[in-house]
Amino acid sequence: MRIKYKSKDELRALRDAGLAVSEILDDICKAAVPGATTWELNEVAASGIARLKVKSAFLGYQGYPAVLCTSVNEVIVHGIPRKDEVLKQGDIIGIDFGAFKDDFCGDSARTVVVGGQTSPEKQKLVDVTRESLERAIALCVPGQRLGDLGFAVQSWAEEHGYSVVKDFVGHGVGRQMHEDPAVPNYGKPGTGKRLKSGLVIAIEPMVNAGAQHVEVLDDDWTAVTQDRSMSAHFEHTIAITDNGPWVLTQAAPSPGSP
């Protein structure tokens, strides 16, 4: 598969999809309170899908059974929402959501603290993971390389004593949720594909408090830290433009916004 660079019209369509994803994620995050089940969060997402008339990117994807991924504490990614999984004060939960609008995809994830307060250790992990994404986004300009983005994530995480997951990576986004190129959360500066205007990618650092190693549970989806340390996950869909990075799944304007 070759990389598909996007026209201005396609970028606007991807922005519309990204804004829908951002709006629904806002509602899901507000609902992530002590006593809520992860299945109830899935219901909030389903209601948002119906309200905004978009299509889930997750439901049915390779057999996935929900419209949302809910990854609590030691779960890295792909946690399946459950009626018997009840959120507790101080939990951290990675909420990953994607949707299609007019045949274009938006894909984004956030890790939130249930109840607003948690241990300093968990809060630091969440903050550093979010910052690692922000550092990579700042480099999303023509001429940089994918290795520069991966190094930005990896070096910031490792500077704080954490590890980045290498089993899962980011990806291109367009009319499909997963397009070329792969976007690793690790790498060497000056290596990898050079970024060009019109490229749209999802950068999604997954950072573990312990070792990088992953274990997939018996449901064939839920990926947890092998050592059961805490994990955090953030993701944005970003367009490379001549004016800078345009974060398509963020409601606030960014440098590349037209």
Structural domains in the chain plus CATH codes: 8-247 (3.90.230.10)
DSSP codes joined into one string, 93-148? EEEEEEEEETTEEEEEEEEEETTS---HHHHHHHHHHHHHHHHHHHT-STT-BHHH
* Phi, psi torsion values for 165, nearest 5 degrees: -75, 130
For CA atoms 149, 151, 154, 158, the dihedral sign is negative
Nearest to 4 by CA among 105, 99, 151, 97: 105
* Mean of per-residue pLDDT scores for the chain: 97
Contact indicator for 193, 175 with CB cutoff of 8 Å: no
**pTM greater than 0.85:** yes
- pLDDT attached to residue 1: 60
The pLDDT > 90 percentage for the chain reads 97
Mean pLDDT of 34-52: 98
Sheet holding 200-203, edge to edge: 179-183, 170-172, 200-203, 236-241, 244-247
- pLDDT attached to residue 253: 86
- pLDDT attached to residue 258: 82
Contact indicator for 69, 78 with CB cutoff of 8 Å: yes
The pLDDT > 70 percentage for the chain reads 100
For residue 44, the Cα-to-chain-centroid distance in whole angstroms is: 18
Contact indicator for 10, 176 with CB cutoff of 8 Å: no
